[in-house]
Amino acid sequence: MQLTNRSKNVVNKKMSFAERIYLVAIAKGMWITLKHFFRKNNTYNYPDTQRTYAPVYRGWHVLKRDANGAERCTACGLCAVACPAEAITMTAAERERGEEKLYREEKYAAVYEINMLRCIFCGLCEEACPKEAIFLTDRIVPSDYVRQGFIFGKDMLVEGVEPEKRVDVSVRQKHIQEKKQAAAAAQ
Amino acid sequence: MPKVKIDGFEVEVPDGTTILNAARMIGGDIVPPAMCYYSTLKGSGGKCRTCLVKVTKGSEKDPRPMPKLVASCQTMVMDGMEVANITSDEVINARKGVVEFLLINHPLDCPICDQAGECHLQDLAFDHGAASTRYEFERRTFERIDIGPYIKLHMTRCILCYRCVFTAQQLTPERVHGVVGRGDHAEISTFIEKAIDNDFSGNVIDVCPVGALTDRTFRFKSRVWFLNPMEAHRDCEKCSGKAVVWMYGKEIFRVTARKDQYGEVHEFICNTCRFEKKAPGDWVVEGPRNIERNSVISQNHYLAATTVR
């Protein structure tokens, strides 16, 4: 059964002399090439020029700190269980006395790793997070030469304490809240 | 042999059976939830009020309905009794109220709590509770206490079901563990924080329906849904040696007793099995444990054996 008319039957008939010298075919092909010189460019010269992203773009994850600079993540494991690609692993540890400024809750993630090669950037981890700790940002995951370089530990994920090193996720946060409210209203 | 009808299902039960146990004989959705009743502990029940049901017909001889909702774990059946559990809006509303009361002082620190994923209060709140709280005041908080080298007590999470007290009373020769104070001030305590050193003290962890009593050797090690629960046994001179080992790969993270579908243990295990035998060679693994399909423990990794036992 023919679903489209794009397929063409192959005929093995002998070519005529005009066809055999290929002059017409070459001219046709060159005309197509010439047309493309005057077309608008479809590509960007990254990184000199960058395209604009959607404000809710899902890229490189960030582990947020709270207003006092303490890590929000408590290693509850809900992001890992929600992850369809099983990209997230973590090891929890108990907060010692005197570390209250570093970690918000009594448990924290001593190791938190996301395998960026596995990650499909679906955003289910940030929806699962009960502590508003993990967010996907509009930053692009940097390239690397070895696979090991794509396993991002806490050094690549946790944002800095200083105000200028904080990662702004307010747009994404609002988007997730609206999504959750819409889901709750639908129920 | 009295006959009782629960939500339209009729069952014939022996004399002296409670409504809750009659409902369990029928099984399914009509079984009232229980936070404090524990079939293997004598005297337990009647405290949490989550198992409230409506008796629409008292008995064959006296068909008047009971004036108030009754605790099904404490009320015996009578011949011809008719009970409404999930078919009564009154019961559903009352249960919702009970959950709200239980959660008044509960910290809801499930992301931190080791019990999360197998917590009865979590299930109960999910099934019956409201998504938000109306309580505006400061919640009751306590310092965390180490009861001996193996058990951690988070009094803040406790719902005062008294199960651990009955366990301590009935499994150990001398009483060292009880409830101190009354009403809002009541708290589980050992006298002068005296360490429980008894071979069966670890069972208070299993009977606790919430995360108030947790295993110190498993504290923050992993989450239950990352582990594979496997039925295993070993030769033990103190207990039956039948347990569940929670494994991650070949590593044993923790050992618990075998719980039935209502979360109740019938064969309590000793502290040696529970806390000290965690090398892979210590246990003979029988096979994966049956986990309910909709349980978080079976998420992502547990494809075989997903039926209710």
ipTM score of complex: 0.81
Q: Does residue B239 surpass a pLDDT of 50?
A: yes
Q: Which residues does chain B have within 8 Å of residue A76's beta carbon, measured at their own beta carbons? A: 110-112, 116, 223
Q: Does residue A21 surpass a pLDDT of 80?
A: yes
Mean predicted confidence (pLDDT) in B149-158 = 89
Mean predicted confidence (pLDDT) in B214-223 = 92
Quick check: B114 and B214 in contact, CB under 8 A? yes
Q: Does residue A139 surpass a pLDDT of 60?
A: yes
Residues above pLDDT 70, as percent of chain A: 100
Q: Is the dihedral of CA B7, B11, B15, B18 positive or negative?
A: negative
Residue B300: pLDDT band with limits 50, 70, 90: low
Quick check: B273 and B236 in contact, CB under 8 A? yes
Strands, DSSP E only, in B78-147? 81-84, 145-147
Residue B178: pLDDT band with limits 50, 70, 90: confident
Structure tokens at B56: 């629409």
How far is residue B62's CA from residue A99's CA, in Å, rounded to a whole number? Answer: 66
**What pLDDT score was predicted for residue B306?**
43
Residue B287: pLDDT band with limits 50, 70, 90: confident
Q: Who has greater pLDDT, A182 or B166?
A: A182
Average pLDDT of chain A, as a whole number: 91
Q: Does residue A5 surpass a pLDDT of 60?
A: yes
What residue ranges define each of the domains in chain B, with the CATH number in brackets? Answer: 3-101 (3.10.20.740), 107-215 (3.30.70.20), 224-298 (no CATH)
**What pLDDT score was predicted for residue B36?**
93
Q: Does residue B309 surpass a pLDDT of 60?
A: no
CA dihedral B179, B181, B187, B189 (to 10 degrees): -50
**What pLDDT score was predicted for residue B194?**
57
Count of other CB atoms within 10 angstroms of residue B31:
21
Q: In the Cβ-directed half-sphere of B244, how many Cα atoms lie within 13 Å? A: 20
The alpha carbons of chain B give a radius of gyration, in whole angstroms, of 20
Q: Which residue of A has its CA nearest to B221?
A: A92
Quick check: A77 and A90 in contact, CB under 8 A? yes
Q: Who has greater pLDDT, A34 or B131?
A: A34
The alpha carbons of chain A give a radius of gyration, in whole angstroms, of 26
Q: CB distance from A63 to chain B under 8 Å?
A: no
CB spacing of B300 vs A81 below 8 angstroms: yes
Mean predicted confidence (pLDDT) in A94-103 = 90
Average pLDDT of chain B, as a whole number: 87
Q: Who has greater pLDDT, A11 or B232?
A: B232
Classify strands B81-84 and B3-6 as parallel, antiparallel or unpaired.
parallel
Q: In the Cβ-directed half-sphere of B296, how many Cα atoms lie within 13 Å? A: 19
Mean predicted confidence (pLDDT) in B153-181 = 80
Q: Looking at B64-68, B85-89, B171-175, which range is the least confident one?
A: B171-175
CB spacing of B111 vs A80 below 8 angstroms: no
Mean predicted confidence (pLDDT) in A120-144 = 93
Residue B196: pLDDT band with limits 50, 70, 90: low
CB spacing of A77 vs B226 below 8 angstroms: yes
Q: Does residue B230 surpass a pLDDT of 60?
A: yes
Residue B23: pLDDT band with limits 50, 70, 90: very high
The DSSP secondary-structure symbol of B191 reads: G
DSSP of B235-296: --SSS--EEEEEEETTEEEEEEPPB-TTS-BSS---HIIIII--SGGG-EEEEEPP--TTSG
CB spacing of A130 vs B112 below 8 angstroms: no
Which residues of B have a CB under 8 Å from any CB of A? 109-112, 116, 131, 219-223, 225-226, 296, 299-300
Q: CB distance from A79 to chain B under 8 Å?
A: no
How far is residue B286's CA from residue A4's CA, in Å, rounded to a whole number? Answer: 58
> Which of A86, A94, A131 has its CB closest to that of B300?
A86
Count of other CB atoms within 10 angstroms of residue A93:
15
How far is residue A26's CA from residue A37's CA, in Å, rounded to a whole number? Answer: 17
How far is residue B54's CA from residue B95's CA, in Å, rounded to a whole number? Answer: 11
Q: Does residue B252 surpass a pLDDT of 80?
A: yes
pTM, two decimal places: 0.83
**What pLDDT score was predicted for residue B307?**
43
Phi, psi of B199 (to 5 degrees): -65, -20
CB spacing of A81 vs B220 below 8 angstroms: no
Of B89, B82, B102, which is closest to residue B34 (Cα–Cα)?
Answer: B102
How far is residue B301's CA from residue B305's CA, in Å, rounded to a whole number? Answer: 11
User: Which residues fall within 8 angstroms of residue B186, CB to CB, at 6 or more apart?
Assistant: B160, B179, B180
**What pLDDT score was predicted for residue A92?**
93
DSSP of chain A: ----S-------PPP-HHHHT-HHHHHHHHHHHHHHHTSPP-S--TTTS-PPPPTT---SEEE-B-TTS-B------HHHHH-TT--EEEEEEEPPTT-TTTBSSSEEEEEEEEETTT-----HHHHH-SSS-EEE-SPPPPP-SSGGGGEE-HHHHBPPSSGGG----HHHHHHHHHHHHHHHHH-
CB spacing of B219 vs A74 below 8 angstroms: no
DSSP of B199-248: TTTTHHHHH-SSSSEEETTTTTT--GGGSEEEEEE---SSS--EEEEEEE
Q: Which residue of B has its CA nearest to A109?
A: B220
Q: What is the largest CA-CA distance in chain A?
A: 91
Residue type, position B210, single letter: V
CB spacing of B223 vs A94 below 8 angstroms: no
Q: Which residues does chain B have within 8 Å of residue A78's beta carbon, measured at their own beta carbons? A: 111
Q: Which residue of A has its CA nearest to B108?
A: A130
Topology, domain A61-186: Alpha-Beta Plaits (3.30.70)
Of A92, A60, A82, A87, which is closest to residue A158 (Cα–Cα)?
Answer: A60
How far is residue A125's CA from residue B211's CA, in Å, rounded to a whole number? Answer: 25
Q: CB distance from A167 to chain B under 8 Å?
A: no
Query: For testing the chain B interface, which of A78, A97, A131 should be mutated: the one with the most B CBs within 10 Å?
Result: A78
**What pLDDT score was predicted for residue B192?**
45
**What pLDDT score was predicted for residue B145?**
84
Quick check: B243 and B267 in contact, CB under 8 A? no
Q: What is the largest CA-CA distance in chain B?
A: 61
Q: Looking at B88-97, B243-252, B263-272, B283-292, which range is the least confident one?
A: B283-292
Q: CB distance from A80 to chain B under 8 Å?
A: yes
Q: CB distance from A78 to chain B under 8 Å?
A: yes
Q: In the Cβ-directed half-sphere of B12, how many Cα atoms lie within 13 Å? A: 1
CB spacing of B112 vs A106 below 8 angstroms: yes
**What pLDDT score was predicted for residue B302?**
55
CB pairs under 8 A between A and B: 38
CB spacing of B223 vs A77 below 8 angstroms: yes
**What pLDDT score was predicted for residue B130?**
78
CA dihedral A55, A60, A61, A64 (to 10 degrees): -70
CB spacing of B112 vs A86 below 8 angstroms: no
CB spacing of A92 vs B221 below 8 angstroms: yes
